[in-house]
Amino acid sequence: TTSDFEEVVRSVPFDWAFCFDKKKPREEPARAAEEIIAVVRRDQALTDAPVLPIIHVPRLKSGGYKVEIFPTVTRLVAEALRPPMIWIPERELGAGISQRISTMRQIRCELDRLPFYQPVHLLGTGNPWTVGIMASAGADSFDGLEWCRTVVDHETDRLNHFQHVDLFTDQTRFADLAIAHQALDDPGIDFAGKVAFHNIAYY
């Protein structure tokens, strides 16, 4: 809730906060941007640290999202707020990687019209292939939970089932990250911790 968000913002130290996002904005781009800007400004009143926007677009009744308004909404929000970064949920960029790439490229082209560079962070993008592809489409940074829910094959950049880490311990043993191979033999680090260090060594 917004009251929970306010309590956290007032009591927990941080460098940046993302706004309590407006998940169902209007369908008209200018109106959607106004709603997102208003939410960021409302939350900014709670703290001296920067509060950054998360851009959502409306869901379609037929499924999916109204992706065609993303470029305009994102540019309007960036123009009004000049935030250090804008967050966009990758899943809302379209159905399938091709449409998501196209939407991200359109967003970057629209943002390139601004007199400053606007960084974009994609939420929920942890697959190594998707990170590379979306970076080439114009996104700047990424997060996701793949690093702690799967096992990365360091050689093929593919994700595998979490329980298959034993098939990749040779990669962990010779990883550049010392703590990763030390974790293999440390009885104080549980299974999930060993998987996390294996993946962190990769990323």
Per-residue pLDDT tens for 123-176?
999 888 899 999 999 999 999 888 788 999 999 999 999 999 999 999 999 999
Question: Would you say 41 and 80 are in contact if contact means Cβ atoms under 8 Å apart?
Answer: no
For strand 150-153 and strand 158-161, is the pairing parallel, antiparallel, or unpaired?
Answer: antiparallel
Digit-coded pLDDT (tens) for 78-103: 999 999 999 999 999 999 999 999 99
**Measured distance CA(10)–CA(47) in Å, rounded:** 7
pTM value > 0.75: yes
